Chains A and B, each alone.
Chain A
Amino acid sequence: MTAVVGADEVRSAPRAGAPSSYTVTDLGVVPPLGGLYVKGAMGSVTKRPRAGVVLPRVVYRVADVDTTGVAAHLADYQGVVGEPVSDVLPAGFLHVLTFPLATAVMVRPDFPLGLLGMVHLRNTARVFRPVGVGDRLEIRAWAEHARAHRRGVQVDLVAEAFAGGVPVYRGVSTYLAKGFSVRDGASTPSEWAGPDRAASEGALPGREVPDGAMPDRAADGAGRPASRAPWVPPLPTARWRLPRSIGPEYGAVSGDRNPIHMSALGAKAFGFPRAIAHGMYTAARALAEVGPARRGDAYEWTAEFFKPVLLPGSVDVAIRYASDAGAGAAPAVGPEGGFVYDAWRAGRTTRHLTGTVTPL
């Protein structure tokens, strides 16, 4: 687990801004998510798996997002994920604010991958300085780094926020589109020209990538490399009892009203036995449980998703000092060195997610 997170770190750490070949398209306002979903669902029909995925070289930008009006929305969000009520926007809320812009990129006709059935594999977010209610933000989003996954193509949706021209937030959401492939089984130089390309490509072939998708159960086990040792859960530090209502509740504060989260019926339509919790809800709750006091003003928050949490459900959680979790890279012993979290099905070994919260 540590090695995986470590690889992610190396890959995303030094980059900032979109690749230089991209052009900026200004949108006046952040588009509403509901309409994007409809467009995404419709567009998915025509986006057939094929070889040679090429991403649109475009950056969507909204130059002035006024956060003065988000106070009530923020309080609702904080209540749902367990953050203390405050006027500072947690990284998860910044993800929620920028998510529609990233979605707008994904529903473009020239975005080659279908929105429906895309699996959120992992998420890395960094808050460089605190963003408060009332701050005016410029936000940007684009897609980059399409690359091979043994079950398709994975792609990074990057969102950045700036306040007064200074970067305050950067989020990288990695999605898997099953069935698609990229040329030569790796990212194409024209699409990906980040400074750490060599490192990332070097890290890719041997890298273990989780099975993110539950509906595709046939791939579980059979699709795993035989050498992979079974995951052993640590001793828990907490237990989450997640009610059925948490799907719609997080759906309401995040705008992500994907039917798989909203009702058992909606989930069944996509092959899940029951509604599933938003991965970002579980990650946001782990971030909240580390808490503002321990993560500090500037921090990195990562999440890697495995099997989804079926609702209602009990989840065993271990949120530990990185130094206690045996994370060799922990910069310091104790809470100052950041936190590692793991979540799995209560009393079992079915892994839901893992991640880190590290003060920067």
Chain B
Amino acid sequence: MLQKGIIRSILEHDKGGKILITLLLVAAVIVPVLNLLLPETSPFHLSAYNVTLWGKYLCYGLLALAVDLVWGYLGILSLGHGAFFALGGYVMGMHLMREIGSRGVYGHPLLPDFMVFLNWGELPWFWYGFDNFFFTFFMIFVVPGILAFIFGWFAFRSRVTGVYLSIITQAMTYALMLAFFRNEMGFGGNNGLTDFKDILGFSLQEDTTRSALFALSAIALIVGYLICRYITQSRAGRVATAIRDAESRVRFLGYRVEHFKLFIFVVSACLAGLAGALYVPQVGIINPSEFSPINSIEIVVWVAIGGRGTLYGAVLGAILVNYFKTWLTTAAPEIWLYFLGAIFVGVTLYFPKGLVGLLHKMKKNQKVNIAKGEAKP
């Protein structure tokens, strides 16, 4: 009862959020039903491929949400959120590698295949604990969270802002990419982590597991949305907006700007990590290319296209853009990047508030038209 009250108060003035959450809840139920209960001959049957594809989109939605929280509300244009996503993914990947156990190609009881291949004698210390799911679950938030904390601690205290901060975030993810490419790091180098077998004993190839992962992604997105919305509609959210618009004014009011930035940045990194952790078992691989700077820039483009500073707009943007990406990269793979660039430029020029802004504008015009119509006798 109490929880219901909290959720209701969070979504009180958030029509877009209510619609989004309703849709996600419906999808979390309908998609598994269409996949598992309908026979494959039925026209409404949803293939396992599509279930996983949409599960992936939902993970991207959660990632976009994390970026919108820092960019839309706090004004920090992070071009390195892909790093937090990838770290969450690597944490999950390590767990899935440990789950393989002795079923690997080399059949080693403890070491993942790539370590046997590299002639490593024993498991590196940082691989301990990841055989335990609860430890892994904890680390999904802790690893990206700690990176965000250390990064933010230095950046925000030294008052690095604007484009300089964006460049540093970009450098951060690039540096991590280079590091993870090295075999000596102990994360599978170039190939990353792959060949996963099962999660918590459920085979990753099974339709039921895939449906469950889809439903979990939907639920994670709902929870992530509620957390973000709670923050943005609290006084802390208003302080964030104030920091975005007039940072020094907030300081002279007696707020510790760096504390607010750090808090929201870390929350955002944790959400990105969760998105990565749900993404990896669905796509079956995590490798250093997830750290590549272009990925992080793409996330920002999703948010801009959907509508910055609205939260649900970010989710909408992520899903729509990736839907088109899937379609276009099969139809005409070479033009995808041009197409992405073109819509980004188009949206920034003509709908600076993104698709959500466009919808609001259309609605407003409609209302004005109705009002005009009524005014005429």
Co-complex (A, B): no
Residue positions of B touching A, CB distance < 8 A: none
Residue positions of A touching B, CB distance < 8 A: none
